[in-house]
Amino acid sequence: MCGRYTVTRQEGLIEDLEAALDPEAPKNEWWKPRFNVAPTQPAPVVTLQGGARVLEMMRWGLVPFWATKPGAKAPLMINARVESIDAKQVFRDALERKRCLVPADGFFEWKRAGKLATPLYIHPWPHRFVAFAGLWARLRLESGRELHSFTIITGPPNELVKPIHDRMPVVLDRSAWAAWLDPSLDGAGAHALLQIPPVGDWRADEVSTWVNKADHDDPTCIEPVTHPPPAQGSLF
């Protein structure tokens, strides 16, 4: 799964995003660097609206259309598995008509060994923006307000992530961004774009358990942990 990620907007990254996606939304001032995006929080998402790429904030965790019915409890749909994306109508419909790009520059996974869980920050180096394949939904609440929400598509891991976790977000190749947003592409064509991303220049850095708490959202979350060399035994 993908349960935490970053969109840090470090120096040069916001310009890279704007150049690559050409969003029509206001720039630079309306969203802040995020070092630990967690489920249910708002995060920037790119959709195609009226032929233009638009960057807007959406809730992470797709909320289905029936969530406003009396007694209905919406599940926390933060991820959609690529292997079974056609099994749920809400995902199947979104794959046809409501695809989005989720800007990011890395994500977190925890490598488990017994009771120990070591957080790792998995990201391209040097830092740059990438786009996770996402789906989004529009829900009209009883108040009349619209809630926009999204989910990140996950698939099998590549060779870098495989020793850490059995899932990873689908990172779309930049050449596929336009096609993913293109409304003329049907669900089958979109599904064909969901490939296991190559390792390329990505790496996995151990980080501190500071990132474990969702309300920790600062550069400490992505700082690599350095382990001191083992003490040398006395020669005498």
Half-sphere exposure of 228 (CA within 13 A, CB side): 3
Q: Which of 148, 143, 153, 162 is nearest to 79 (CA)?
A: 153
Residues 6+ apart with CB under 8 A from 68: 139, 140, 141, 142
Residues 6+ apart with CB under 8 A from 145: none
Residues 6+ apart with CB under 8 A from 187: 86, 92, 95, 96
Residue 221 annotated to the active site: no
Q: Give Cα 90 to chain centroid, integer Å.
A: 19
SS3 call for 130: strand
Say which of 15, 109, 146, 206 is annotated catalytic. 109
SS (H, E, C) 73-119: CCCCECEEEHHHCCCCHHHHHHHHHCEEEEEECEEEEEEEECCEEEE
Say which of 2, 56, 100, 221 is annotated catalytic. 2
Helix ranges, 22-62 (H): none
Residue 2 annotated to the active site: yes
Catalytic residues: 2, 109
